[in-house]
Amino acid sequence: MTKLVRTTMTRRSSTAVAATIAAVAFFTAACGSDSDKTDPEKTATGASSATSSVSVGGKALDAKFETKCAKDGGTTVMTLLDAENATYGVLTVSAIIDESGTVQTAGIAGSEGGSNGLPYTAGFAPGLPGGSASAKQDGNTFVVTGEGIGARDGSNPTETSSFEITFACESVIGG
């Protein structure tokens, strides 16, 4: 019974993260171009040196992200992509924030890098156990912090970790 619960929880958390990332990728695919890459010398206002970044469990993920941000109505959708990450393979990070500033989903997924040959995943979505998230906005820079569930360790599929994601959007399409 325990193995069934672990397998079910792993599938649910992996599915939630994957669904979030797929939705965000689909939404932003038509909204940006390669010119939207984060420039470390610019912030949302072009003044200082904010860059997109991710940390999980207090450990920064080493990545060179392409940042895409779009707004549709009151929903802001943001993605980070490092398609050739040395540790995590295709590393995708996303978040969806509604008009009240509430984080609807946040996900971090790598095609590799989890334990025992699993993909690397961590994320938050309402209804998943052990998670919470909040967002702060300063111009076009969004910082999403919280705790999410992940499938990084096959022996502990309900493992939770803290995360902090900075989306330094050069621009917000539709915003």
Strand 119-124 relative to strand 132-138, pairing: unpaired
Domain assignment of residue 70, yes or no: yes
Six-digit token pair at 167?
């989306």
How far, in Å, CA of 166 to CA of 145, rounded?
9
- pLDDT of residue 2 exceeding 70, the answer is no
Domain assignment of residue 173, yes or no: no
- 163 or 49, greater pLDDT: 163
Sign of CA dihedral 72, 75, 76, 82: negative
pLDDT at 153: 58
Domain assignment of residue 80, yes or no: yes
Strand 103-113 relative to strand 132-138, pairing: unpaired
Domain range for 141: 2-168
Domain assignment of residue 39, yes or no: yes
Q: What share of the chain is helix, strand, coil (3-state, %, to 5)?
A: 20, 45, 35
Average pLDDT, the chain: 77
Domain assignment of residue 125, yes or no: yes
Six-digit token pair at 96?
């969806």
47, burial (CB in 10 Å: exposed 0-12, middle 13-18, buried 19+): exposed
Q: What is the pLDDT of residues 95-148, one digit of tens each?
A: 999 999 999 999 999 999 887 777 888 889 988 777 899 999 999 999 999 998
Q: What is the pLDDT of residues 10-28, one digit of tens each?
A: 444 444 444 444 444 444 3
Domain assignment of residue 31, yes or no: yes
Q: What is the mean pLDDT of residues 67-95?
A: 96
Domain assignment of residue 38, yes or no: yes
- Pick from 86-90, 152-156, 160-164: least confident: 152-156
pLDDT category at 51 given cuts 50, 70, 90 is: very high
Give percent of the chain above pLDDT 90.
Answer: 50
**pTM value?**
0.74
**Total number of domains constituting the chain:** 1
Q: Which of 92, 123, 126, 131 is nearest to 13 (CA)?
A: 123
Domain assignment of residue 175, yes or no: no
Give me the residue label for tokens 């989903």. 105
- pLDDT of residue 39 exceeding 60, the answer is no
